[in-house]
């Protein structure tokens, strides 16, 4: 067997990493899904709400999900964009996903999970390596499914399972009711309610 020089090995390593990155980039990313800093709250407004949410994020004993309910126009989206803006500034926001009814064709409901997988892999090199292992020989997982449980299990939980991540993985989602959930009902809501329990079980906090 021919002996490879260290330089040849490095070139092969680089090629493998580049191929892995290209495969991860095949996973669909939610176009325009990111929060918009300018849509945050006006200074001095909604302070009690914002303080409550910041404390919720910082408290390791908090429940894993926090849902804002309110009538139309009461400022839920402003709060969501503001929370995302503040934590992003501190490099503590992992992902944000803003649904908009008029953009349902560009931003489908299942993109929530694929976008989160891409954001996690941008943020944590160890997650990227683990995700690469899961999807590298599996085209159907990269581009062939919209099934929430499959995507969540394969693109999020599986790569996370042996990783130790310090601090909370913060995800801000706005306007779930505008997600255009293909089930036509509230399956995405139900699925997210269940998955927040799975997050607790993986001890990721």
Ligand X SMILES: Nc1ncnc2c1ncn2[C@@H]1O[C@H](COP(=O)(O)OP(=O)(O)OP(=O)(O)O)[C@@H](O)[C@H]1O
Enumerate binding residues for ligand X (CB under 6 A): 41-42, 45-46, 70, 72-78, 175
User: Closest CB to Mg ion among 77 and 121?
Assistant: 77
User: Closest CB to ligand X among 57 and 175?
Assistant: 175
Q: Which does 136 bind (CB under 5 to 8 A by kind): ligand X, Mg ion, none?
A: none
The residue of the chain with the least Cβ separation from ligand X equals 75
Q: Which does 3 bind (CB under 5 to 8 A by kind): Mg ion, ligand X, none?
A: none
Least spacing, CB of residue 111 vs Mg ion, in Å = 18
DSSP character string of 134-160: HHTT-HHHHHS---HHHHIIIIIIHHH
Reported as half-sphere exposure (CB side, CA atoms, 13 A), residue 114 has a value of 24
Torsion sign, CA atoms 19, 123, 110, 175: negative
User: Closest CB to Mg ion among 23 and 76?
Assistant: 76
User: Closest CB to ligand X among 46 and 146?
Assistant: 46
DSSP state of 70: -
Is 95 one of the binding residues for Mg ion (CB under 5 A)? Answer: no
Residue whose C-alpha is closest to residue 116's, from 89, 153, 86? 153
Could you give phi then psi for residue 160, rounded to 5 degrees?
-80, -15
Is 77 one of the binding residues for Mg ion (CB under 5 A)? Answer: yes
User: Closest CB to ligand X among 109 and 151?
Assistant: 109
Q: Which does 172 bind (CB under 5 to 8 A by kind): ligand X, Mg ion, none?
A: none
| Burial profile 135-170: b = 16 or more Cβ within 10 angstroms, e = fewer | beeeeebbeebeebeebbbbbbbbbbeeeebeebbb
Q: Which residues are at the interface with Mg ion (CB under 5 A)?
A: 76-77
């Amino acid at each position: 067997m021919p002996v490879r020089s260290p330089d040849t090995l490095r070139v092969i390593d680089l090629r493998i990493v580049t191929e892995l990155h290209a495969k991860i980039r095949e996973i669909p990313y939610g176009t325009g899904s990111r929060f918009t800093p300018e849509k945050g709250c006006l200074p001095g407004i909604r302070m009690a709400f914002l303080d409550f949410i910041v404390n919720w994020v910082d408290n390791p004993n908090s429940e894993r999900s926090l849902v804002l309910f309110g009538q139309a126009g009461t400022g839920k989206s402003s709060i969501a964009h503001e929370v995302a803006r503040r934590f992003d500034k501190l490099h503590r926001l992992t992902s944000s996903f803003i649904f908009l009814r008029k953009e349902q064709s560009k931003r489908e409901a299942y993109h929530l999970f694929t976008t989160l997988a891409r954001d996690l892999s941008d943020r944590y090199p160890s997650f990227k390596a683990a995700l690469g292992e899961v999807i590298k020989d599996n085209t159907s997982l990269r581009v062939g499914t919209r099934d929430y449980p499959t995507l969540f299990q394969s693109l999020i939980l599986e790569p996370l399972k042996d990783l130790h991540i310090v601090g909370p993985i913060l995800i801000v989602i706005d306007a779930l009711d505008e997600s255009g959930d293909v089930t036509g009902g509230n399956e995405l809501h139900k699925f997210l309610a269940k998955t927040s329990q799975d997050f607790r079980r993986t001890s990721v906090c």
